[in-house]
Amino acid sequence: MPRTLAGHPVAPPTDGEPYLLLRADSAAEGNGACNRFRGPYTAPGPGQLTFGPLLSTRMACPALPTETAFLKALAQTRTYQISGDTLRLLGANQASLARLEAVYLHRK
């Protein structure tokens, strides 16, 4: 779940909760706050991460600016850093694009 985008705090969701899931089959999927998205990602080496074209549904909602910023951050991602439960997405020149916090899902 994004906590910051382009260095700015993300407001608590009022519609859908933004999230990013990186699957073992190199598919990324998630929710931007309004719409679901899916597309490929590559992690060719340690600390490297890029996202291919992401397809998404096209519904409007009040959180659309958050979604736009989230998808832009994913498109600009070139590297990442992990510290504890925090994933930082970094762009060109190591610019901080987003900070996401891990959420653990429990299976029953």
Residue 6 confidence (pLDDT): 74
Domain 2-78 belongs in CATH node 2.40.128.270: yes
The predicted-structure confidence for 53-101, as pLDDT tens digits, reads as follows 999 999 888 888 889 999 999 999 999 999 999 999 999 999 999 999 9
Q: What is the pLDDT of residue 63?
A: 82
The Cβ of residue 22 has, within 10 Å, a number of other Cβ atoms equal to 16
Q: Which residue has the higher pLDDT, 7 or 49?
A: 49
CB-based contacts of 93, cutoff 8 Å, min separation 6: none
Per-residue confidence (pLDDT) for residue 38, from 0 to 100: 98
Which pLDDT band holds residue 43 (cuts at 50, 70, 90)? Answer: very high
Would you say residue 20 has pLDDT above 90?
Answer: yes
> What is the sign, positive or negative, of the torsion defined by CA atoms of 67, 73, 76, 77?
negative
